[in-house]
Amino acid sequence: MPKLVNRLIVALVVIGQARSLVFALRRQEWRRSSLQVRSPTVTGTPTGMIVRVNLDLEIVNVYSGPSSYLYPSVGVLLVGQEVPALGISEDENWIQVYYPGVPGSVAWVYGPYVTIIKTGRLPRIPAPSTPTPLSTPTIDPTLAAAFIDPVTPTRLPTFTPPPALVVPTFLPNLDSGNRVPAGLLIIALGFIGGFGALISFLRGR
């Protein structure tokens, strides 16, 4: 009986080891096949100057040319991302970087947004031609006329100059030598009034 138990234990141990070995072989084979399938194709990238997005910026836009006004945005760079630099703009404000997934695999990033972490020699690259707009906006004249209030021109009144100012003229007084002065008349009237008052006073007494 003890021998049978020992044999069973040995058999179980052997079976367990065999299963572990088979599992290990299968796992190794799965990892090998997984690496073969998932390993990306290594393509050569330009070597030379390397720039990195500043750590105080979360997202930096890259453009198809050295301007954020004349060229459209073609992608973004994340904080701390490192990319190879290919050239510099003629005004030395923009850097052309390697950016796969866009036409030519190049894009432009604004220079103050990145930091040079590997020095190199950058050639001056002329700006590409600006993209042609898909359509030129036009204004429908009928629609524009509906919102324009027509104004009828009104002629301003004509200014009429006033008549000339007539200054009156006075003839000289010819008989001024025979007239009694007004002051003398006032004195005479005052004297007559005083004399009348005196007579009235004397009669009253």
As a whole number of angstroms, the distance between CA 109 and CA 53 comes to: 10
Do residues 108 and 64 lie in contact, with contact meaning Cβ atoms separated by under 8 Å? yes
Q: What is the rounded distance in angstroms from the CA atom of residue 68 to the CA atom of residue 108?
A: 9
Distance CA 44, CA 70 (A): 31
pLDDT tens, 125-177?
A: 999 988 776 566 777 777 777 777 777 778 888 888 888 888 888 777 655 55
**pTM of the prediction?**
0.46
> What is the layout of strands, in order, in the sheet containing 114-118?
73-78, 59-63, 106-110, 94-98, 82-88, 50-53, 114-118
What local confidence, expressed as pLDDT, does residue 205 receive?
63
Confidence of residue 71 (pLDDT cuts 50, 70, 90): very high
Most confident of 3-7, 18-22, 118-122: 118-122
DSSP secondary structure string for all residues of 96-145: EEE-TTSGGGEEEEEGGGEEEEE-----B-PPPPPPPPS------HHHHH
Could you tell me what percent of the chain has a pLDDT over 70? 70
User: Is the pLDDT score of 121 beyond 50?
Assistant: yes
pLDDT of residue 26 exceeding 80: no
